[in-house]
Amino acid sequence: MSVSSSTAVVSPSLLVSLAATPWLVTIATFRTTSAALEQLGLFSEEIFRGDRLPVLHVPDATIVEPID
């Protein structure tokens, strides 16, 4: 009696490509998210730039006549 055992061998390159795909998607998502958050921070700085500045009371300019 001969028993033939057949094993399904998956190609190592297929396994590597299946394992690498989620990592590449994660890296691309991280870069996109960090760039978007950086831009959001810059926009919020521009919005609130004048909000925290003190009010400067500038006296009215008066015309001074030169002394001869």
> Per-residue pLDDT tens for 18-37?
899 999 999 999 999 999 99
> How many of the other CB atoms lie within 10 Å of CB of 60?
4
Mean pLDDT score across all residues of the chain: 82
Question: How far apart are the two ends of the chain, measured CA to CA in Å?
Answer: 130
- What contacts 43, CB < 8 A, 6 or more positions away? none
pTM over 0.85: no
Q: Which pLDDT score, from 0 to 100, does residue 51 have?
A: 66
**Gap between the Cα atoms of 66 and 64, Å rounded:** 6
**Token output for 2:** 């001969």
